[in-house]
Amino acid sequence: MVLDILDLELARLLAKYVREWNGRGWSPATSTNYSFRNDAAHIAVSKSGVDKSQFSENDFLLLDLASEKLRPEYLEEQPDIRTSAETELHTALYKVNPNIGAVVHTHSVYDTILSDAFFRSGRSELVLCDYELLKAIDGYQTHEASLSIPIFGNTQNITNLAAEFRRAYEQQPDMKGYLIAGHGFYTWGKNIAEAKRHLEAFQFLLECQYKAILIRKLI
């Protein structure tokens, strides 16, 4: 069921990118989730359990942002329908920052293992420095900058994780993405294009970070 109020143009655009990112290996095995701000009152969130190589605009469900509940029309048609289990992490972002227009969550090899390895070694952030590509991140005009990506421990209690994110965001309101240890990466943007730009930049930089660690003592 596709509701009349779904912004089909945005849904089609993000769905196309979701399939592309799947082709890059960032959403294995039906994992990961995506959303965009549909209008003042609603966000569209990806359905749970869809193979992302076949993700389409019909796989977005509208949620009332205030109540964080699915629009009732879906449940009338299919009582057991649900959005991603991590929907609360999306709504937390739209609520703390009215300028956020899209949120993307991936599982790439590099976001998974770097978050895991750093967190196990006791670190709560991964810092990116001196890369020209930092300029692809909103607010960065130069490579001479340090960008901190918080790393949260993984948990199945999404409510707790959302609370931990909100506390961190209060301390670091210029946060542009965060990692969950052994789990994956969240980033966002003022619209879908910016979220895409942020995602591509961060995934590139995480791969650089990993591969730089490997040669650090060999140069």
Contact residues for a second copy (CB under 8 A)?
Answer: 20, 25, 28-31, 51, 53, 107, 109-110, 112-113, 116-118, 120-121, 130-133, 135-136, 141-144, 154, 156, 180-184, 193, 196-198, 200-201, 203-204, 207-208, 210-219
Nearer to a second copy among residue 26 and residue 36 (C-beta): 26
Nearer to a second copy among residue 69 and residue 120 (C-beta): 120
- Minimum Å gap between C-beta 59 and a second copy is 15
Cα gap 44→34, rounded to integer Å: 8
Measuring CA to CA, which residue among 91, 83, 94, 108 is closest to residue 184? 108
Measuring CA to CA, which residue among 124, 93, 91, 115 is closest to residue 184? 115
Cα gap 169→103, rounded to integer Å: 15
- Minimum Å gap between C-beta 67 and a second copy is 26
Nearer to a second copy among residue 65 and residue 87 (C-beta): 87
Which 3 state secondary structure label does DSSP give 40?
Answer: coil
Nearer to a second copy among residue 37 and residue 198 (C-beta): 198
- Minimum Å gap between C-beta 10 and a second copy is 16
Per DSSP, the residues of 86-123 read THHHHHHHHHH-TT--EEEEE--HHHHHHHHHHHHTT-
192-211 in b/e burial notation, b at 16+ Cβ within 10 A?
bebbbbbbbbbbebbeebee
Nearer to a second copy among residue 96 and residue 154 (C-beta): 154
- Minimum Å gap between C-beta 29 and a second copy is 4
- Minimum Å gap between C-beta 209 and a second copy is 9
Q: Which helix (H) or strand (E) segment is 170 a member of? A: helix 158-171
